Structure 1
């Protein structure tokens, strides 16, 4: 026993001598007295006058990393910050460091700054800071891909001795110390060998922090195995372990990064059988990893490792215990490989394991877990009590947050379950579906009703965060905000930027978006460094969303914010605010809803209705149903319940919910519910468009000033038009364009569509005359340019003229013409207007209308011909016959020739009339064959003009060539009468008698011609 005490004390004494205070480790100056205890009455070192004494710094190189050691005074704390290749170390409760030129591997320079030090690192190097007693140790590792010193090989004994299964437990003499390996041939079991082994252990511990790499240790095979916590057979042989370098997992691509995880710089594989279960959790300042198989593991190859060098193995009767010191920002991840279990140390905050959610069942606590292993009783390193640990044979599940009850504490784990019992009556046992925690048969567990906040926090633990929105009571959030404001106010002006970010986060947790946005804007204004800070940009975007200003939230899309589920959630919020029921945002809400539920109540209440409604409308109905089922009593989700019922096709249930929500005290919910109810009733056929328009018209002023009012206005106008009231629909659209000038172009396009649809509907279902006149007069400016506008204007003009109300039609047509842009539509309206004026006897007005509506560019031939004919009639009526004849001659068409002949006939200018008729008949009368009545009438007019002009040659040609082609009848008789030659001899007396008889029948013949002949061209 005395020897064992010496063995345990010697390493501590040696380490204290070689790694003691800075005054003992550094080379003392000549004449400087050795450090000793302070005299009586003098304050201890690190207090009083020595409070700001420089902190000693030492450096050393170790294979693939360099080490910097700071000897901290008593009570000092530290924190680090990384910026590129610069690592800043700040001390509180101690002074700075003295200037030094010391460097080491991967550390180019160490510079003092007030209250700390700045280390300039090699490019790409990564650092790990940890504490050992009163020392701060900073290890700086080679960049990725840099050749590193190979890890130490396992000892010869561990590599050559095969592992044998443990026999049945046997009693062991109290004084017999168990060993882990067979004794080497050259060494004896005496005290000298034990002392040498202790000395080697102390040297190895010192070399881990010394200024030079550790020398070879030939006595390593003689080291005793780790002292087991319970008697074990002495025949156990330590199994070798395999150090490995873990590879960082590749983050998953996409809007939602659920697999994003920090790299694990160190990992080690421990050899265990395939069916061995494992559990891992933090306890105090270290990690505890439990394997439900007893197997000694030699950790000698890891003595120089910066992460696993301080790990220890302890053997339990049916388990192996690995204890590992961890920094505050580190976590452990277990993974199964064919060789055993791999233990990796990585940065905390990555993807957490799938949560094990406790379930309450008849006074028992059920812990559903996949592949449950055994339950191991483990000594609690923190309290000295007992922990009940349940292992799992497959990785990936853990308890994310602790749960406390009067009889136990369920600890957070990285894998498996761990229970700290407060009652001796508790038992934890494995079951088919996981583990069951229960009391004895006489009692049940004192379990509370499941806490929704705790469950949400547990479920959200697997999702990655970027910002700090803790789920605290409102009073706690207020105190947090007040403390942040006071801290920022007490900070020097040039250092307030980061503190103001903390104020902004505290205000956002309270749901105070506008206030947080003002604080964050002030931070960026007063500190230019904050302008490009990604956290400031992201928080400002979140504040804008909470303040109802989604147009100012573009900053959340900054690519520097990628990689966390929380940022994906806020991007979905922005998308949903821009597009109601966005199908792009709904899946993101479904995946991150647990994170939203873990937010503080003010923030959660603001976002939860938006998420639920978006999922209901965006295709994630199952996720929305789960949320609504879990929060049945949340009144803010009432509208979401109606949307979900509508999406599921349950119209009756949806209308019942909408009608109930329409009585809500929330103005926005009330307005939205009323609008949705009207929409659904119209779609279901239960409400006519006119009645629906009346109902929505009353809702226009229920919510003012944003896109919701615009949506209600447009839908009301649409229902007015569908209900047969286009005038009120157009009037509402014009008012909406004035209220929303930014949307005026889109509203004007809707005005044109509504006006065109109204006229098209009027063609099938004519409006009352005065209603049509008013519709045209109020909306003359809505006739578009182009062919569509020309057709629309023509139809409207025809309808107005057909009303036989020229006095009402003329002002409307004039307004239409004035409002229509230059083009064919305007020229068409001008022709209609001139025609109406000409019928009213206003030839000058007709000419003015034609002149005012001249087209730009080339006019369509049909429109040009119609306008020319109207112009010729108006000009002739105004006494401008030469201009009319000239225009018709230039037109050179059959209708133009006929009108020219008509005008000249009316003016009794027979030679000109004969020429015009000759040109016209050449176009409409064939040169050979029998003629129709219409064609014969045209030749009759030509013959009459030729007779009036005294053109005997033309009459003779018509008599000889065309008379035989005219069918017998009145036309033929009249044509013969006009074209026959004069009476010149006695032989012509008989013909003269016949002509006299024909002349007496001319009035009757003309009457018959009127009923038989359809004149060619416009009426005369």
Structure 2
């Protein structure tokens, strides 16, 4: 094993060591075995495992082992520990020579720069500068000196050293120098963020597979996010997380990705994106959706935005998953109402009815139970199951319930009941001067049609006197004038008007009110409060 290690074949050294362990298991506990095994592991790139072997207390008395411990710690990215180990092995380093001394001083300088110990870095760099290294190694020393100069604030010297090293034939050295040059120029505002992104996109493939690639990807992702290029940023972070899987850096990247996702879909940043782009971003990174109430609120808010642009099927898909897999109890019952409303907006009353009945709860808050009854009644009316819908509304005295009754009576052509409900809905509205909204105009015209079919001229005249000033000039004003004029239209004309209104304006105000709930954010707030409760 010693022979293989001394002749640059560390992988081959592991074979005899393993054979020795199989022959005598106590050998692996001996200091020589651990020393050779640790060095061999370090030389094949398994720095963390190597450090575990080299830190065995049985090796503490060997001065040179502290240097190997420093090399292993530096390779594992534990730079503060590396400096401590190099310090413990200072006497051994003073007596070291040749390639091993050069190797240690390179590692010591890098660790010191990373840890911010400029005095130690300067000491090792001076040693390397005075050693008479080959040109390629000399460029590597110049690069380290550039980093030292940058840390001291001598940016001109740092830039010159980085530019020299960036032209090196050594791909690893060139990549590191180019990276530091990009960071320096960006910090000094000599390049824009977009220019830095372009440079890093070229650099990310220059040297791959170690912590350097992770650093490049991390900076690139940060720049993308700072420039509001969230897809590119999250995608870059995702690649960095794969490389750093099961490491502290990987967990830190995952945390940052979750924070960005929350900023987008909880704090409103995604509202700056088009709903289609926001939806695509959500689906591509939906594994970042937090558990619990925050995640549920995130999904509902996105669904609201989709409803606002009539992407009803995609909004329904989001809430279907939430109702089926994420919620239970009152929260599930309330979100099911919102899903049912989306189905109604999408002309799918059967699905609305199914989801309401599939999410029935024995005990619900009074307001939630009432809203569910109203939406279920709407679905039944849409399905022309009028009697069932009206039975469901028994005992309900709200204006919303009367609006549903009016819709049912309109389709049933139950004119006496329609007049009664319309009168109740309009009340003394004619005594105020505020313009009528769309729903009120529909109630007025429907009552006029019902009165015309019933041939109740006196009531038509009274309706005209009360509402003509409020109906004048607005939607349906012409129809109202025809129905309530001095010369009553023939029955055939009234039927024609009723038929046209049924085709063009059926439930128009109702659907507009539903959609307004989603675009105003009221539905999301209500769902969030129920979920939190």
Superposition TM-score, scaled by structure 1 size? 0.37
Whether contact under 8 Å (1:616, 1:624) holds in the other structure is yes
1:575 to 73, 80, 92: 73
Instruction: Call closer, same or farther: CA 1:905–1:752 in 2, change over 3 Å.
Output: same
Measured in 1, the distance between the counterparts of 2:376 and 2:189 equals 55
Aligned to 1:144: none
The structure richer in helix per residue is 2
Measured in 1, the distance between the counterparts of 2:347 and 2:108 equals 71
Instruction: Call closer, same or farther: CA 1:741–1:1005 in 2, change over 3 Å.
Output: same
Aligned to 1:693: 197
Deviation at 1:623? Answer: 1.7
Whether contact under 8 Å (2:93, 2:101) holds in the other structure is yes
Whether contact under 8 Å (2:224, 2:232) holds in the other structure is yes
Whether contact under 8 Å (2:109, 2:124) holds in the other structure is yes
2:170 to 662, 666, 669: 666
Deviation at 1:773? Answer: 4.8
User: What does residue range 140-289 of structure 1 map to in structure 2 within 5 Å?
Assistant: none
Instruction: Call closer, same or farther: CA 1:618–1:842 in 2, change over 3 Å.
Output: same
Aligned to 2:402: 901
1:766 to 264, 269, 272: 272
Measured in 2, the distance between the counterparts of 1:640 and 1:858 equals 71
Aligned to 1:651: 155
Aligned to 1:555: 53
Whether contact under 8 Å (2:263, 2:269) holds in the other structure is no
Deviation at 1:577? Answer: 2.4
Alignment of 1:722 onto 2:186: no
Q: Which is higher, the Rg of structure 1 or of structure 2? A: 1
User: What does residue range 619-638 of structure 1 map to in structure 2 within 5 Å?
Assistant: 619-632=116-129, 634=133, 635=138, 636-638=140-142
Deviation at 1:607? Answer: 3.1
Query: What is the number of residues matched between the two proteins?
Result: 436
Whether contact under 8 Å (2:113, 2:147) holds in the other structure is yes
Instruction: Call closer, same or farther: CA 1:572–1:832 in 2, change over 3 Å.
Output: farther
Deviation at 1:763? Answer: 4.1
Aligned to 2:37: 540
Deviation at 1:614? Answer: 0.7
Measured in 1, the distance between the counterparts of 2:425 and 2:459 equals 18
Aligned to 1:57: none
Deviation at 1:685? Answer: 3.2
Measured in 2, the distance between the counterparts of 1:826 and 1:673 equals 56
User: What does residue range 937-956 of structure 1 map to in structure 2 within 5 Å?
Assistant: 944-945=423-424
Instruction: Call closer, same or farther: CA 1:643–1:524 in 2, change over 3 Å.
Output: farther
Q: Any idea what SS the aligned residue of 1:754 has? A: helix
Aligned to 2:341: 835
Alignment of 1:876 onto 2:381: yes
Instruction: Call closer, same or farther: CA 1:641–1:855 in 2, change over 3 Å.
Output: farther
Whether contact under 8 Å (1:733, 1:751) holds in the other structure is yes
Deviation at 1:531? Answer: 1.8
Whether contact under 8 Å (2:171, 2:206) holds in the other structure is yes
Instruction: Call closer, same or farther: CA 1:969–1:734 in 2, change over 3 Å.
Output: closer
Deviation at 1:765? Answer: 7.2
Whether contact under 8 Å (2:63, 2:89) holds in the other structure is yes
Measured in 1, the distance between the counterparts of 2:218 and 2:40 equals 31
**Cα deviation per residue 1:240-268 (whole Å; 9 max; x = unaligned)?**
xxxxxxxxxxxxxxxxxxxxxxxxxxxxx
Instruction: Call closer, same or farther: CA 1:707–1:945 in 2, change over 3 Å.
Output: same
Deviation at 1:789? Answer: 1.8
Measured in 2, the distance between the counterparts of 1:639 and 1:734 equals 31
The structure richer in strand per residue is 1
Aligned to 1:680: 184
Aligned to 2:466: 1002
Measured in 1, the distance between the counterparts of 2:394 and 2:35 equals 78
**Cα deviation per residue 1:895-944 (whole Å; 9 max; x = unaligned)?**
xx4322321233249xxxxxxxxxxxxxxxxxxxxxxxxxxxxxx99893
Deviation at 1:570? Answer: 3.3
1:617 to 94, 111, 114: 114
Deviation at 1:616? Answer: 1.6
1:786 to 292, 295, 301: 292
Aligned to 1:753: 259
Deviation at 1:835? Answer: 3.3
Gaps of 5+ in 2: 411-418, 435-457, 476-508, 515-533
Deviation at 1:549? Answer: 0.6
Whether contact under 8 Å (1:872, 1:884) holds in the other structure is yes
Deviation at 1:615? Answer: 0.9
Instruction: Call closer, same or farther: CA 1:765–1:816 in 2, change over 3 Å.
Output: closer
Instruction: Call closer, same or farther: CA 1:882–1:746 in 2, change over 3 Å.
Output: farther
Gaps of 5+ in 1: 1-499, 910-939, 948-957, 972-993
Q: Any idea what SS the aligned residue of 1:631 has? A: helix
Measured in 2, the distance between the counterparts of 1:575 and 1:583 equals 9
Measured in 2, the distance between the counterparts of 1:735 and 1:631 equals 36
Deviation at 1:591? Answer: 5.5
**RMSD of equivalent CA atoms:** 4.7
Deviation at 1:536? Answer: 1.2
Instruction: Call closer, same or farther: CA 1:999–1:529 in 2, change over 3 Å.
Output: closer
Measured in 2, the distance between the counterparts of 1:574 and 1:758 equals 41
Aligned to 2:523: none
Aligned to 2:444: none
Aligned to 1:459: none
Measured in 1, the distance between the counterparts of 2:402 and 2:295 equals 35
**Cα deviation per residue 1:304-361 (whole Å; 9 max; x = unaligned)?**
xxxxxxxxxxxxxxxxxxxxxxxxxxxxxxxxxxxxxxxxxxxxxxxxxxxxxxxxxx
Aligned to 1:119: none
